Structure 1
Amino acid sequence: MDRHDRLGEFRGMAFGFWFLRPITGGVEWSVAPEDVRPATPEQRLHAETARANARSRGELL
């Protein structure tokens, strides 16, 4: 199985899979729930900063 170290927001579930979206927007991907773990505090801070920067550049609404 191809695994990635990606951080995403939970968007929903269907057919036993979770759907996540990149923090700064983009295409959702599906993942088995057992392959997901909570983000560390450092990852959350990095993601929140990336989202704020993208928003300040007009990339997010």
Structure 2
Amino acid sequence: MCAESNPPSDQQPPQVPSTGTLLVDAGHRDRVGEFRGVAGPYWSLRPVRGGAEWEAEPVNVRVASTMERLRAENARCNARSAGRIL
């Protein structure tokens, strides 16, 4: 009798999104960020309102919903009008 100790995972690795796609990082309290690229095993995300990029594990990231995208775009517009970002 032979048993596998590590059964194959049915979960496929997430597909790399295009640059600029708004994503939600569940590993960082559902923080919304813009996809910037791949850094080793991590994905680089930048806050929508500007600021330092952070690295997220792809398994914790999902595409932002319509409401989340709207909130992020609104936050970007507010930050721009207040002079906090260009």
User: Structure 1-normalised TM-score?
Assistant: 0.89
Unmatched 5+ residue regions in structure 2? 1-26
Cα-Cα RMSD: 1.2
Query: Which structure shows the higher helix fraction?
Result: 1
Structure 1 residue 39 corresponds to structure 2 residue 64: yes
Moved over 3 A (4+): none
Alignment length, in residue pairs? 60
Unmatched 5+ residue regions in structure 1? none
Deviations 1:1-31 (A, max 9, x none): x642100001111211101011001111101
Deviations 1:16-61 (A, max 9, x none): 1101011001111101111100101001000100100110111111
Give the % identical residues: 53
Letter of the 1:8 partner, please give it.
G
User: Structure 2-normalised TM-score?
Assistant: 0.65
